């Protein structure tokens, strides 16, 4: 087991390095840099000093250095929690992203938790009540969840909330808590504001999970041992929980790998639509202004989150399923 963990962790490191390099180069790819747009503005206003100013800024941000050197500086800084300067208003990236990263992690973990709990309950119910009303309702909800793209759902909810209920759904906390230290009131306010984004982001994941759990459980419920157990007079609840349910839990854990990238993608776009103070809107802004350090930091963060999530899912799966722990490859 230890060797398994060690190997997985060691594999993570080169993966993250490859991703960080790729991301940094891609963002830097288009011609021009983040100073260009700022200087164009100055030039348009007829500022005579614009060119000198541009040189100063380039010097400050190190844009005169070759790309590989800037990349190495940036990567080297990461280990000291120093991500270089953001081009926008000359602030260290580390100061800009702190709270956003925390809120993003909170939002994504709650979404995963939401997906699990809801799909577990609904999926089990649908499988044990096959072809009843509840099953049809669950399937229908699942289908809608799969079909409606989450950012459009967010847009529609935003509209409905605004026009019919007169409330703005955007934001992740009440205005009075912004830039305030953490308190119970703030935490509560964040929780309230999280509900809608979590549902919107989790919708499609939940729908997929329900379908899979239902199918798995239905397969399992038809097996002979279940019939035997029932014939021997085992109470239905005990029969369900003791064997078939445990068996069909496996994909639940295994699927985090597929679920996590989706949830993160969803959270980026949904938080842009709902203008949540998470990484999404800032990443978009940074990409548009070619703020390389900021954008690359966000992307690396997202990648790290995914890779760690995958690691956890693999470990949990290994703990849960002896076939994987002992090296036999499972058919997927």
Partner 1 sequence: MTDTAPNDKSRRTPHFVSQEPWDPYVADRLTKEQERYYMAGQWKLMWWRFRRHRPAVVSAVFLALMYLSTLVSEWIAPYDLHTRNSRYIFAAPQSVHLFHEGKFMGPFVYGLKMERDPATLQRIYSPDTSQPQPLRFFCLGERYEFWGLIEGRFHFVCPAEDGTFFLLGTDRLGRDMFSRIVYAARISLTIGLIGITLSFALALILGGLAGYYGGWVDSVVQRITEIIKSFPHLPLWLALSAALPVTWSPLLVYFGITLILALLDWPGLGRAVRSKLLSLREEDYAAAAQMMGAKPARIIGRHLLPGFMSHLIASATLSIPSMILAETALSFLGLGLRPPITSWGVLLNEATDINVVAVNWWLMLPVVPVILVILAYQFMGDGMRDAADPYA
Which residues contribute to the site for partner 1 (CB under 8 A)?
15, 18-19, 23, 26-27, 29-31, 146-149, 151-152, 155-156, 158-159, 162-163, 168, 170, 257, 260-262, 264-266, 268-269, 272-273, 283-284, 287-288, 290, 295, 298-299, 302-303, 306-307, 310
Closest C-alpha to 293, from 17, 82, 101: 82
Phi-psi category of 32—alpha, beta or left, where left has phi over 0 and alpha has psi -120 to 50?
left
Q: For residues 206 and 331, what is the distance between their CA atoms, to the nearest angstrom?
A: 24
What is the phi/psi pair of residue 233, to 5°?
Answer: 90, 25
Q: For residues 297 and 92, what is the distance between their CA atoms, to the nearest angstrom?
A: 11
Beta carbon nearer to partner 1, 149 or 185: 149
Q: For residues 263 and 68, what is the distance between their CA atoms, to the nearest angstrom?
A: 32
Q: Smallest gap, in angstroms, from Cβ of residue 84 to partner 1?
A: 17
Contact by Cβ (8 Å): 16, 307: yes
Q: Smallest gap, in angstroms, from Cβ of residue 237 to partner 1?
A: 34
Q: Smallest gap, in angstroms, from Cβ of residue 18 to partner 1?
A: 7
Residue with tokens 């270089």: 84
Q: Smallest gap, in angstroms, from Cβ of residue 87 to partner 1?
A: 14
In this structure, what token pair is assigned to residue 304?
């790290």
Helix, strand, or coil (residue 132): coil
Residue with tokens 């939002």: 107
Write the secondary structure of 54-100 as one string of H (helix), E (strand) and C (coil).
HHHHHHHHCCCCCHHHHHHHHHHHHCCCCCCECCCCCCEHHHHHHHH
Q: For residues 280 and 270, what is the distance between their CA atoms, to the nearest angstrom?
A: 8
User: What Rg do the C-alpha atoms of the chain give, in angstroms?
Assistant: 25
In this structure, what token pair is assigned to residue 291?
């703020």
Q: Smallest gap, in angstroms, from Cβ of residue 240 to partner 1?
A: 29
Q: Smallest gap, in angstroms, from Cβ of residue 32 to partner 1?
A: 8
Q: Smallest gap, in angstroms, from Cβ of residue 51 to partner 1?
A: 21
């Amino acid at each position: 087991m230890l060797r398994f963990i060690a190997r997985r962790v060691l594999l993570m490191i080169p993966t993250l390095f490859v991703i960080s390099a790729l991301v940094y180069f891609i963002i830097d790819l288009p011609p021009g840099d983040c100073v260009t747009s700022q200087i164009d503005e100055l030039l348009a206003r007829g500022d005579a000093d614009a060119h000198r100013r541009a040189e100063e800024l380039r010097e400050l941000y190190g844009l005169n250095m070759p790309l590989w050197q800037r990349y190495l500086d940036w990567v080297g800084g990461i280990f000291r929690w120093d991500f270089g300067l953001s081009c926008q208003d000359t602030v260290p990236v580390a100061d800009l992203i702190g709270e956003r990263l925390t809120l993003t992690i909170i939002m994504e973990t709650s979404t995963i938790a939401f997906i699990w709990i809801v799909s577990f309950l609904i999926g089990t119910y649908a499988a044990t009540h096959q072809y009843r009303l509840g099953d049809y309702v669950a399937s229908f909800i699942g289908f809608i969840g799969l079909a409606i793209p989450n950012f459009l759902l967010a847009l529609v909810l935003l509209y409905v909330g605004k026009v019919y209920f007169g409330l703005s759904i955007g934001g992740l906390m009440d205005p009075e808590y912004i830039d305030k230290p953490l308190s119970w009131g703030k935490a509560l306010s964040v929780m309230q504001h999280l509900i809608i984004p979590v549902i919107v982001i989790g919708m499609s994941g939940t729908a997929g999970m329900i379908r899979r759990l239902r199918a798995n459980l239905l397969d399992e419920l038809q097996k002979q041992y279940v019939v035997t157990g029932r014939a021997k007079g085992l109470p239905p609840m005990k029969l369900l929980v003791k064997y078939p349910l445990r068996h069909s839990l496996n994909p639940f854990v295994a699927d985090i790998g597929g679920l996590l990238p989706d949830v993160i993608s969803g959270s980026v776009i949904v938080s842009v639509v709902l203008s949540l103070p998470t990484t999404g809107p800032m990443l978009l802004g940074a990409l548009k202004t070619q703020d390389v350090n900021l954008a690359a930091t966000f992307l690396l963060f997202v990648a790290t989150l995914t890779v760690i999530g995958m690691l956890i899912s693999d470990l949990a799966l290994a703990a849960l399923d002896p076939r994987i722990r002992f090296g036999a490859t499972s058919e997927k």
